[in-house]
Amino acid sequence: MSAIQNFFLKILPKAMGEDMRRDSMRWIVKCQCGFGRSIWEMGGIRWKASGDRKTLLKCPECGERSLHSVVYVPDSKVST
Ligand SMILES: [Zn+2]
């Protein structure tokens, strides 16, 4: 867990912190090669957000620097 995640989990009420964690885990960053990981896994937080977007990242799987899609997956089974 990253320092920023730890910080928010500490200052937020427990239920709210859990909500934030779940939401961040449902935002998936996907490479064109098919590799995906959650924002939470990457040490980030995305909470109460909406809309898809793109972000330029280097993929750890294929090693390519490419546009990754950031998509909300409500039933994501990705865990920490
Ligand atoms: Zn890739």
Report how far residue 48's alpha carbon sits from residue 14's, in angstroms, rounded to the nearest whole number: 16
What is the distance in A from the centroid of ligand 1 to the CA of 53?
17
Report how far residue 47's alpha carbon sits from residue 22's, in angstroms, rounded to the nearest whole number: 9
So what's the pLDDT on residue 48? 87
- What are the tens digits of pLDDT across the range 30-60? 999 999 999 999 999 999 888 888 999 999 9
So what's the pLDDT on residue 50? 83
What is the distance in A from the centroid of ligand 1 to the CA of 32?
6
What is the distance in A from the centroid of ligand 1 to the CA of 35?
5
What is the distance in A from the centroid of ligand 1 to the CA of 59?
5
What's the average model confidence in pLDDT over 8-16?
A: 97
What's the average model confidence in pLDDT over 68-80?
A: 77
Cα atoms found within 13 Å of the Cα of residue 77, Cβ hemisphere only? 0
So what's the pLDDT on residue 77? 63
What is the distance in A from the centroid of ligand 1 to the CA of 76?
19
Domain spans, the chain: 3-72
pTM of the model: 0.83
